[in-house]
Amino acid sequence: MMSTAPTPQTLPRHELVGLDTEVVSASNDDLVGLSGEVVMETTQTLGVDVDGELAHVPKAEATFEFTLPASTDVVTVEGENLVARPARRTEQQGDSKWR
């Protein structure tokens, strides 16, 4: 895991669990506006705690806004850039699609 705090440019390479997120667009209109804390991540989905209920959001079909910890910065990420096993996604270095 990377030791520096995420920036808008590097967020897709960082751990997403624990971050607040909102779905700002999705192929399923019912997911748009869904917001809460990311509590789990799989290769294809983010698990978001929405008022005590777990919502599974397909990464490739949504665009997410993440609030960076200890700041008010909001980062928008196309979900297709997050599709990967979390451990593989966070270990990417150099020139990668997750940069």
Ranges of each domain in the chain: 16-87
User: Does residue 56 have a pLDDT over 60?
Assistant: yes
Model confidence, pTM: 0.82
Protein fold of 16-87: SH3 type barrels. (2.30.30)
Q: Is the pLDDT of residue 43 over 80?
A: yes
**SS3 sequence of the chain:** CCCCCCCCCCHHHCCCCCCEEEEEEECCHHHCCCEEEEEEECCCEEEEEECCEEEEEEHHHEEEEEECCCCCCEEEEEHHHHCCCHHHHHCCCCCCCCC
